[in-house]
Amino acid sequence: MPARPLPAPAEPLDDRLTAAVTARVGAARFNLWFKGHARFEPAAGGVRVVARNEACREWLEHTFGDAVKAAAVEVCGGPAVKWAIEENGEPGTRNPEPKEEEPFAALGAGGAPAPCPANPNRGLAPPARQHDLFGDPVAPPKPKPKRPDPDADALAAPPASARPGRRWKALADFVVGPSNRVAFASAVSVVEDPGQAANPLVLHGPTGTGKTHLLEGIFAGLRKRGDRPVYVTAEEFTTRFVQASRLGKMAAFRRQFRECSALLFDNLNFVATKRATQEEFLHTFDALTSDGRAVVVTTDCHPRLADELMPELADRLLGGAVWGLLPPDADTRLEILRKKATGGHPAIPDGVLKSIASALRGNARELEGAVNGVRHYARVTGRPVDPPLVREALGDLLRHAVRVVTVADVDAAVCAVLRLPAGTLQSKARTWAVSHPRMIAVYLCRKHTAATYGEIAKHFGAKTHSTAVAAEKKVRAWLDGDKSVVIGNRDWRAKELIDRVERELQR
């Protein structure tokens, strides 16, 4: 009877586990992540995986825990897997060794894999693919520096009102006159009693009439009281809104402008054609006013005359106090010049200031520029300030200071505002769409030009001057009764239409 062959010696446990795990994860991944970084050892009821360090153990358990557990079931007949780390060259664990009869811990609570570490490669030896053909280590590529995002940096910067170093104008330095008295009083009331002042406060008028000065004065006064106002221009608000929308940081943007005690918004007309920005400002406006916090807005025209504004926004603005500022009159111009000339060198005599005030009919910035120009010219030439020096220093400014308005200028302004073709007012048409604008033009010609009734009537094609006289009387009656005028398909309040034409004349 032939002898039976002896059974082959059993394959070591770690070799069998290596083969089983390799079959599940692939030879390339096993060599990259297990070889040289972990080893398998037998344990009661299962297997122990000993890793080089804690980071290696977390990464292997999180990534290959299920594959090792399945391999342990195949090789050892039991699913228990113990994950351990080397401690001083000896296998060790993070927790005390469990008793022999206790089962080993599973992969994680409820069998879920442990969370992946923030840097899974920390502590691991460089993988084989980071060596060249001769076995020398290859330096890992340097991470590319993060490119700065100008939009993110600009959005993170504080608003202009929170930046140190800026000098704010004070209400005490504002020159009050008939053209701005009511607006100034309203600004003072916002500072002295914010809860009782009209909300919102809208200040409108042409450039250089003091709107921004009043707004800065309100900001400085409220901050001196200990409040937390925010001053922002429409341009800055729009820029921050676009940046926040692109970066997905609208919550932070809204906190900047809705957690303040008062919002001071300069140059609202900048957002006239920007629908999305208007909507965002409208929501900010509602959030502030509903809590009783003050909103002060400046713009270049009355809200009712701003066709580009959303009707909802224009309606909100009309719900408060709306005050206009006009170019200063002669007395106010003289006071502005005196204030700008105080304390400077060389001194400017009061008689010279009076002559400048009567010659210049511009805004406060133009007057301040005149004072600076006269002083600089006097210092350069070494001459005293007198009328001849003023004429030399301000020659160009004085020549262009007085603009003569002609009948043709008024005709063009009316046609521009009402979008009528040039020459419409000189036609023989008698429809309201032509006759009413022609009456408005006649009234403004008498107000802003030195033309006689006969000259005006001749320009607009009338036979006698009595037609121009009747047209002026008709418009005056409209203004006295605050009546509306039908022009085309729209009703205009006579005062609003004349205000708009006059603004067109000032351009």
262-266 β-sheet, strand order? 229-233, 262-266, 294-299, 201-204, 321-324
d(CA 25, CA 16): 14
Q: Which residue has the higher pLDDT, 143 or 201?
A: 201
Write down the pLDDT at residue 119.
45
- Is pLDDT above 50 for 93? no
Say if residue 211's pLDDT is above 90: yes
Q: How many CB atoms lie within 10 A of CB 106?
A: 15
Q: What is the pLDDT of residue 162?
A: 61
- Do the beta carbons of residue 47 and residue 40 sit within 8 Å? yes
Average pLDDT in the chain: 79
Residue 278 has pLDDT above 90, yes or no: yes
Question: Cα separation of 59 and 129, whole Å?
Answer: 18
Q: How confident is the model at residue 50 (pLDDT cuts 50, 70, 90)?
A: confident
| Residue 365 to residue 175: CA distance in whole angstroms | 13
Using alpha carbons, select from 408, 392, 400 the residue that is nearest to residue 361. Answer: 400
Summarize the confidence of residues 113-117 as an average pLDDT: 41
User: Which residue, 119, 125, 155, is CA-closest to 31?
Assistant: 125
Tell me what pLDDT residue 174 has: 93
Out of 100-114, 248-262, 276-290, 300-314, least confident range: 100-114
Q: What tokens does 25 get?
A: 């994860």
pLDDT of residue 67: 85
407-505: what CATH class?
mainly alpha
The pLDDT score that the predictor gives to residue 116 is 40
- pLDDT (tens digit per residue) in 327-341: 888 889 899 999 888
pLDDT band at 38 (very low <50, low <70, confident <90, very high): confident
Q: Is the pLDDT of residue 45 over 70?
A: no
User: Taking a C-beta distance cutoff of 8 angstroms, is the pair 489, 476 a contact?
Assistant: no
pLDDT in the model for residue 128? 47
Q: Is the pLDDT of residue 135 over 70?
A: no
- What is the per-residue pLDDT for 216? 94
More confident residue, 142 or 406: 406
Tell me: the pLDDT tens digits for 433-463? Answer: 888 899 999 999 988 887 888 889 889 888 7
Q: What pLDDT was estimated at residue 433?
A: 83
Query: What integer is the mean pLDDT of 81-106?
Result: 50
Q: Map 292-334 to HEC letters.
A: CCEEEEEECCCHHHCCCCCHHHHHHHHCCEEEECCCCCHHHHH
pLDDT in tens, 212-253: 999 999 999 999 988 899 999 999 999 999 999 988 889 989
pLDDT of residue 99: 37
- Considering the segment(s) 330-399 as one domain, its CATH architecture is Orthogonal Bundle (1.10)
- Model-wide pTM > 0.85: no
Tokens of 321: 């106090």
DSSP states along 427-491: S---SHHHHHHHHHHHHHHHHH----HHHHHHHTT-SSTHHHHHHHHHHHHHHHTT-EEEETTEE
> Looking at residue 404, what is its pLDDT?
67
Looking at per-residue pLDDT, the higher value among 154 and 480 belongs to: 480
Give the ranges where 40-146 is alpha helix by DSSP (H): 54-76
**Residue 221 in 3-state DSSP?**
helix
pLDDT of 152: 52
- The pLDDT assigned to 220 comes to 93
User: How far is residue 505 from each of residues 319, 368, 487, measured CA to CA in Å?
Assistant: 29, 24, 20
**pLDDT reported for residue 57:** 84
Find the helix or strand (DSSP H, E) in which 48 lies.
strand 46-51
341-386 confidence digits (pLDDT tens): 888 788 888 888 998 888 887 788 888 889 999 999 999 999 988 8
Query: What is the average per-residue pLDDT within 309-317?
Result: 91
The CATH homologous superfamily to which domain 176-324 belongs is: P-loop containing nucleotide triphosphate hydrolases (3.40.50.300)
Q: Can you give the pLDDT at residue 435?
A: 87
Q: Quick one: pLDDT at residue 490?
A: 80
pLDDT of 68 > 80? The answer is yes
Strand order from edge to edge, sheet including 80-87: 38-43, 46-51, 80-87, 90-92
Pair 322, 302: CB distance under 8 Å = yes
Instruction: State the pLDDT at residue 73.
Output: 82
User: Across residues 270-284, what is the average pLDDT?
Assistant: 91
Q: Where are the domains of the chain?
A: 13-129, 176-324, 330-399, 407-505
Of these ranges, 112-116, 203-207, 212-216, 466-470, the one predicted with the greatest mean pLDDT is: 212-216
CATH superfamily of 13-129: DnaA, N-terminal domain (3.30.300.180)
What's at 23, amino acid-wise? A
Q: What per-residue confidence (pLDDT) applies to 5? A: 45
Highest mean pLDDT among 85-89, 153-157, 409-413, 488-492: 409-413
**Average pLDDT in the 35-59 region?**
81
Over range 18-46, report the average pLDDT.
82
Give the model's pLDDT for residue 103: 33
Is a pLDDT exceeding 50 seen at residue 104?
Answer: no
Distances (CA, A) of 141 to 145, 295, 409: 12, 55, 71
Residue 499 sits at the vertex; the CA angle it makes with 498 and 505, to the nearest 5 degrees, is 90
Confidence of residue 464 (pLDDT cuts 50, 70, 90): confident
The DSSP bridge partners found for residue 321 are 201
